[in-house]
Amino acid sequence: MGTTGTPTNITQGSKTKGGIGESTLRPDGTLKVTGEFAYSSDMWHEDMLWGQILRSTVAHAEIVSIDTSEALAQPGVYAVMTYDDLPTEVKNYGLEIQDTPVLAHGKVRHHGEPVAIVAADHPETARRAAAKIKVEYKELPVITDEASATAPDAILIHEGRDDHHIGHVPHPNIVHRQPIIRGNVEEAAKKADFIVKGEYTFGMQDQAFLGPESGLAVPSEDGGVELYIATQWLHSDLKQIAPVLGLPEDKVRMTLSGVGGAFGGREDLSMQIHACLLALRTGKPVKIVYNRFESFFGHVHRHPAKLSYEHGATKDGKLTHLKARIVLDGGAYASASPAVVGNASSLGAGPYVVDNVDIEAIALYTNNPPCGAMRGFGAVQACFAYEAQMDKLADAVGMDRVAFRQLNAMEQGTIMPTGQAVDSPAPVAELLRRVKAMPLPPEQQWLAAGEAADVRQLPGGLSNTTHGEGVVRGVGYAVGIKNVGFSEGFDDYSTAKVRMEVVGGEPVATVHTAMAEVGQGGVTVHAQIARTELGVTHVTIHPADTQVGSAGSTSASRQTYVTGGAVKNSCELVREKVLELGRRKFGTYHPAWATAELLLEGGKVVTDGGEVLADLADVLEGEAVEVEAEWRHRPTEPFDLRTGQGFGHVQYTFAAHRAVVEVDTELGLVKVIELACAQDVGKALNPLSVIGQIQGGTTQGLGVAVMEEIIVDPKTAKVRNPSFTDYLIPTILDTPTIPVDVLELADDHAPYGLRGIGEAPTLSSTPAVLAAIRNATGLELNRTPVRPEHLTGTA
């Protein structure tokens, strides 16, 4: 095994209560259980107006005319704005490619695209006014898949593209293409004793965060605007918002409001610019809150994908080669499609040693809903395919499915298909061993309760569809690999401002970052880091805003690594200054100030020998020490556009799952009985939060295995199920027990040895559930989510 690595030697502050490694409780917990925590939809202001967005009713059309006169004439309506009312020449936005119109111009490219916005004194007034805006469309044919997108006569979704990907894509309706080529697939295939091919389909998943897109924009006296918003990345929003408003960035002051979940769906802008435009136009505060229906149109989704895989193996079970093609549907606008392509291709081989690889991943422009970031993006779709392949290969070779994976598992030192050597622990085989070693749940638990079957424990649940008839158990395994942080040469950094001072006789640290707390618990961890590094008990977490430098996005499993790293770094700089202050004030009283290794612990300055030199309160008396500093992880480099070679990822993260399901094989209903997970987290800064992330990610993977899918009509490209009635996410009765085995093998490149953890559990959960259903039913099941129709031959 290549699982070397030791926990980073943490000496500083290890005696301070509430430091890293403890399951300290959330600083926002009390506000969240009392209902006082202010989410973006809770914002309120005297005299505020309500904003409403009018969205396109068709997916692809030229806009012939827009008539707002009747809407404007409604009593209570303060403003109606269309493209023509945009104040500057900057009329588009976008994360990487600015291809998304603030308001539709000339044509609409997907169902639900914003066409006009209204501000009125009551949400109903705004809705009625929006309904009175007359938009005349001339419908165009819809592009909905690869064939229609790349047909010779295909309408271009975006004409006149000038982004930096246009030079290397085979067709203007392809956003980005990334091949990964290593070794010689043709030659290797000749040495394979077994070749397994598969065509896989991954459905469109929605983040379905519970807090809808919302916020409040307040015009300020200096002509600027204050925006209270739920987002994943304040500074990225700011860079996209300010130019459209025609304001310098310092006049758009953004404060993070409470965020009701994100999961990638808040990486792109939603109502931010619209609220600001209306506030500046009317001179009044404007609140916008989507309802659930609108939310399904208001953010990007997970890319649906078609994946073609061919693997080979020798008769002793060694992988010979992989040939794969991954087609991701990016929908009408680019969003995070390029990064999704990068992940899907570079991680397309999974956590396995394969020397001969030929992978191609592309993202399409279509008239389907725009797709972008969602937990595990790119890596999730690939994992579904390669894990199905692993089971088929193991069966072909005649090996145990877990043993086959372990035989081919990558480890520290493995060269990735990108040529990158894995330079920290990669305990893939060990995670599989651990998850397999967990005890299996007892059979037929529904009988355990008594003599009557407890339908709550059976497929179909409360709907009373079976009392055991047709129910078959299955077990499946899967493991996945995800990159942590922003890859491919992106300058991925964060900023932390840390201040130390005496308040009420006690030393207090204040941590100020722009990190979006979306529920993941970053605020908890920042306080822990400050306690550990500064030896204080009291830490105040300053609200996140744009008055401090960028923290980067709360995505890509990166915040604890990068902003955690920035907080640690700034704390270290503060500590040096505090010790300097101590030496200046008290150095003459004790020689150890000059000679010993000094630590801050338990509110005191102590020597490494444990001798107390001073109270921090005395050192800081009358002084405040403050540092704001950027911190970045080691640089990565872009993948070569022809071969995909390059040091593209800063860190990898791994999880393995074992799913136990019971399937009603006659009705095609599934009950997941247990979803066990083993994950390497490097170092668990907060074990309780770590487990919460793993269980939550696991459950989102379960959702897309058996129920979650946005259904788009292929004839019209219209969304058919934009509601929680027909887009189903798991309830507590659909979610099994999720035992978690946490492994801590330090990555010496990362702060405290930690590993980003948020996404990995979402990857392997889905294929594990699928494998278990295949195990129960004997069906091939090459698409997810599995619907009852697929299990009963009635699709």
The contacts of residue 326 (CB under 8 Å, 6+ apart) are: 305, 306, 307, 308, 344, 345, 348, 359, 360, 361, 362, 381, 382, 385
Contact call for residue 573 and another protein (CB under 8 A):
no
Which of residues 368 and 414 has its CB atom nearest to another protein in the complex?
A: 368
Contact call for residue 504 and another protein (CB under 8 A):
no
Spatial distance between the Cα atoms of 171 and 158, rounded to a whole number of angstroms: 11
Spatial distance between the Cα atoms of 775 and 729, rounded to a whole number of angstroms: 24
Integer angstrom CA distances of residue 196 from 322, 360, 366, 413: 10, 18, 31, 27
- Which residues in the 463-482 window bind another protein by CB under 8 A? 463-467, 469-470
- Residue from 15, 45, 171, 590 that binds another protein (CB under 8 A)? 45
Contact call for residue 547 and another protein (CB under 8 A):
no
- Residue from 73, 415, 440, 795 that binds another protein (CB under 8 A)? 795
Which of residues 175 and 712 has its CB atom nearest to another protein in the complex?
A: 712
How would you list the strands of the sheet with 612-615, edge to edge? 598-601, 604-607, 612-615
Spatial distance between the Cα atoms of 708 and 730, rounded to a whole number of angstroms: 8
Q: Give the nearest distance from C-beta 642 to another protein in angstroms.
A: 40
Contact call for residue 729 and another protein (CB under 8 A):
yes
Residue positions counted in the chain: 795
By CB neighbour count within 10 A (0-12 exposed, 13-18 middle, 19+ buried), where does 52 fall? buried
Contact call for residue 7 and another protein (CB under 8 A):
no
Which of residues 4 and 695 has its CB atom nearest to another protein in the complex?
A: 695
Residue in the structure block whose two tokens are 């389909």: 201
- Which residues in the 186-225 window bind another protein by CB under 8 A? 207-212, 218
Q: Give the nearest distance from C-beta 233 to another protein in angstroms.
A: 16
Q: Give the nearest distance from C-beta 83 to another protein in angstroms.
A: 24
- Residue from 261, 441, 602, 603 that binds another protein (CB under 8 A)? 261
Contact call for residue 414 and another protein (CB under 8 A):
no
Q: Give the nearest distance from C-beta 76 to another protein in angstroms.
A: 11
Spatial distance between the Cα atoms of 759 and 461, rounded to a whole number of angstroms: 29
Contact call for residue 32 and another protein (CB under 8 A):
yes
- Residue from 698, 766, 775, 777 that binds another protein (CB under 8 A)? 698
Classified as helix, coil or strand, 575 is helix
Spatial distance between the Cα atoms of 353 and 555, rounded to a whole number of angstroms: 27
Q: Give the nearest distance from C-beta 548 to another protein in angstroms.
A: 14
Which of residues 189 and 271 has its CB atom nearest to another protein in the complex?
A: 271
Contact call for residue 671 and another protein (CB under 8 A):
yes
How far from the centroid of its chain's Cα atoms is residue 602's Cα?
Answer: 36
Q: Give the nearest distance from C-beta 492 to another protein in angstroms.
A: 24
- Residue from 175, 204, 252, 259 that binds another protein (CB under 8 A)? 259
- Residue from 139, 454, 580, 608 that binds another protein (CB under 8 A)? 454
DSSP secondary structure letter of residue 303: P
Q: Give the nearest distance from C-beta 258 to another protein in angstroms.
A: 6
In degrees, to the nearest 5, what angle opens at C-alpha 474 toward C-alphas 468 and 478?
Answer: 150
- Which residues in the 117-156 window bind another protein by CB under 8 A? 122, 124, 127, 131
Q: Report the candidate in 356, 386, 417 with the shortest Cα–Cα distance to residue 197.
A: 386
The contacts of residue 34 (CB under 8 Å, 6+ apart) are: none
- Residue from 135, 518, 629, 770 that binds another protein (CB under 8 A)? 518
- Residue from 42, 96, 430, 533 that binds another protein (CB under 8 A)? 42
Q: Give the nearest distance from C-beta 121 to another protein in angstroms.
A: 10
Spatial distance between the Cα atoms of 192 and 319, rounded to a whole number of angstroms: 8
Considering only the stretches 350-358, 403-411, 626-634, 729-737, report the one whose residues sit in contact with another protein under the rule CB under 8 A.
729-737
Prior bond of 785 cis (ω within 30°): yes
- Residue from 87, 172, 441, 461 that binds another protein (CB under 8 A)? 461
Contact call for residue 437 and another protein (CB under 8 A):
no
- Which residues in the 372-391 window bind another protein by CB under 8 A? none
Q: How many residues bind another protein (CB under 8 A)?
A: 121
Contact call for residue 608 and another protein (CB under 8 A):
no
- Which residues in the 267-296 window bind another protein by CB under 8 A? 289, 291-293
In degrees, to the nearest 5, what angle opens at C-alpha 108 toward C-alphas 102 and 113?
Answer: 55
Which of residues 7 and 123 has its CB atom nearest to another protein in the complex?
A: 123
With both helix axes pointing from N to C terminus, report the angle between 522-534 and 559-586 in degrees, rounded to the nearest 10.
30
Considering only the stretches 22-30, 176-184, 350-358, 427-435, report the one whose residues sit in contact with another protein under the rule CB under 8 A.
22-30
CB contact at 8 A, 720 and 712: yes
How would you list the strands of the sheet with 740-743, edge to edge? 471-484, 651-664, 669-680, 740-743
Dihedral (CA of 769, 773, 776, 778) sign: negative
Which of residues 345 and 560 has its CB atom nearest to another protein in the complex?
A: 560
Contact call for residue 728 and another protein (CB under 8 A):
yes
Q: Report the candidate in 335, 312, 333 with the shortest Cα–Cα distance to residue 324.
A: 312
Spatial distance between the Cα atoms of 366 and 346, rounded to a whole number of angstroms: 24
DSSP strands (E only) in 387-505: 471-484, 493-503
Contact call for residue 459 and another protein (CB under 8 A):
yes
Contact call for residue 726 and another protein (CB under 8 A):
yes
The contacts of residue 8 (CB under 8 Å, 6+ apart) are: 683, 746, 748, 752, 753
The contacts of residue 794 (CB under 8 Å, 6+ apart) are: 668, 788
Which of residues 26 and 392 has its CB atom nearest to another protein in the complex?
A: 26
Which of residues 212 and 767 has its CB atom nearest to another protein in the complex?
A: 212
Contact call for residue 714 and another protein (CB under 8 A):
no
Considering only the stretches 27-35, 316-324, 351-359, 560-568, report the one whose residues sit in contact with another protein under the rule CB under 8 A.
27-35
Contact call for residue 688 and another protein (CB under 8 A):
yes
- Residue from 24, 173, 367, 550 that binds another protein (CB under 8 A)? 24
Contact call for residue 706 and another protein (CB under 8 A):
yes
Contact call for residue 56 and another protein (CB under 8 A):
no
Which of residues 122 and 315 has its CB atom nearest to another protein in the complex?
A: 122
CB contact at 8 A, 274 and 100: no
Contact call for residue 308 and another protein (CB under 8 A):
no
Which of residues 427 and 668 has its CB atom nearest to another protein in the complex?
A: 668
Which of residues 262 and 750 has its CB atom nearest to another protein in the complex?
A: 262
Q: Give the nearest distance from C-beta 201 to another protein in angstroms.
A: 17
Contact call for residue 540 and another protein (CB under 8 A):
yes
In degrees, to the nearest 5, what angle opens at C-alpha 557 toward C-alphas 741 and 408?
Answer: 55
